[in-house]
């Protein structure tokens, strides 16, 4: 959760990286670690999986490691010392902003839900339906309820049972399955259907709504769930 405009955060982050490169330029090994790791991150984030803001913590870890290497080397020239002072000033300011941002996020997490998975899981257990077979779609979101059950869900996209997501070609094709198609695949085969979108006219499709998350969320809105029961 960021409490400043996105473009300001980007500009400030770029300034820190530029200052870091200037500060570690005297050490070839530190530069290799910094630039090599960042090149690898760019490849992963662009061509594989970016995962969200939490994965960008690795950028900071590599930066701190590169600075540690330089700090452990021989005394630097006055120009290098000035670059280090500038860099650490920017980094310290960024950490201060991060503390305030974290406090703001903590307050939201205390008052609201990050995900609707826990609430939905508690509802299913409270109604004694935890042993029922559950069809679910989409896999990326409904798998968040997996830890609350001791049996796997049947993921309509891949038409298989699973307790976790395997991010392969089958998984990708399963995500392309539409929600109406997923509901049709589960109809007549499962007593419960878990979706992360609302089904229009569920009775027409052989289902009726049992529960939808009531606690307000402050993030991860795609993990707001609708639980449907099969019409007899």
- 104-136, pLDDT tens digit by residue? 888 888 999 999 999 999 999 999 999 999 999
- Is residue 135 in a domain? yes
134-157 average pLDDT score: 94
Is 65 contained in some domain?
Answer: yes
Last residue of one domain, picked from the residues 80, 111, 142: 111
Domain count, the chain: 2
84: in domain: yes
Return the pLDDT at 86: 63
pLDDT at 1: 45
Query: Of 111, 129, 160, which residue is a domain's last?
Result: 111
Mean of the per-residue pLDDT values of the chain = 84
Give exposure, 86-100, as e/b (b: 16+ Cβ within 10 Å): bbeebbeebeebeee
Candidate from 6-10, 163-167, 177-181, 213-217 with smallest mean pLDDT: 6-10
Are 32 and 137 part of one and the same domain?
no
Same domain, 81 and 30: yes
40 CB neighbour count, 10 Å cutoff: 12
Q: Are residues 68 and 150 both part of a single domain?
A: no
Among 111, 143, 176, give the residue marking a domain's end.
Answer: 111
Q: Could you tell me if residue 69 is inside a domain?
A: yes
Q: What is the pLDDT of residue 31?
A: 86
* Cis status, amide bond into 138, omega within 30 of 0: yes
- Kind of pairing, strands 153-155 and 160-162? antiparallel
Are residues 79 and 182 located together in one domain of the fold? no
Tell me the average pLDDT across 212-228: 93
Is the same domain home to 125 and 73?
A: no
Q: Which range of residues forms the domain containing residue 52?
A: 6-111
* Rounded average pLDDT over 26-55: 83
pLDDT at 144 over 90: yes
Q: Where are the beta strands (DSSP E) in the chain?
A: 134-137, 153-155, 160-162, 192-195, 207-212, 226-230
Span of 14-18, 186-190, 210-214 with lowest mean pLDDT = 14-18
- pLDDT surpassing 60 at residue 9: yes
Does 126 lie in the same domain as 105? no
Residues 128 and 85 in one domain: no
pLDDT for the residue numbered 19 = 75
Is residue 1, in this structure, part of any structural domain at all?
no
221 pLDDT higher than 50: yes
Instruction: Answer whether residue 82 shows pLDDT above 70.
Output: no
- Better-scored residue on pLDDT, 155 or 58: 155
pLDDT (0 to 100) of residue 146: 92
Q: Are residues 130 and 100 in the same domain?
A: no
Encode burial over 14-23: b for 16+ CB neighbours within 10 A, e otherwise: eebeebbbbb
Percent of the chain past pLDDT 90, that is, above it, reads: 44
């Amino acid at each position: 959760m960021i409490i400043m405009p996105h473009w300001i955060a980007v500009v400030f982050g770029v300034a820190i990286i530029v200052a870091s490169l200037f500060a570690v330029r005297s050490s070839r090994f530190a530069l290799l670690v910094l630039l090599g790791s960042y090149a690898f991150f760019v490849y992963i984030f662009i061509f594989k999986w970016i995962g969200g803001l939490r994965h960008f913590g690795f950028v900071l870890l590599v930066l701190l490691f590169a600075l540690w290497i330089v700090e452990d080397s021989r005394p630097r020239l006055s120009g290098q010392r000035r670059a280090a002072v500038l860099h650490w000033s920017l980094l310290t300011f960024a950490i201060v902003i991060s503390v305030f941002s974290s406090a703001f996020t903590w307050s939201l997490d205390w008052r609201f839900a990050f995900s609707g998975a826990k609430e939905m899981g508690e509802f299913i257990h409270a109604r004694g339906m935890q042993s029922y077979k559950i069809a679910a779609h989409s896999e990326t979101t409904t798998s968040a309820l997996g830890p609350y059950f001791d049996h796997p869900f049947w993921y309509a996209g891949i038409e298989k049972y699973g307790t976790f997501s395997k991010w392969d070609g089958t998984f990708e094709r399963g995500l392309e399955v539409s929600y109406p198609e997923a509901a049709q695949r589960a109809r007549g085969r499962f007593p419960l259907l878990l979706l992360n979108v609302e089904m229009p006219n569920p009775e027409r499709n052989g289902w009726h709504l049992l529960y939808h998350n009531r606690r307000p969320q402050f993030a991860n809105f795609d993990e707001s769930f609708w639980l449907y029961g099969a019409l007899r």
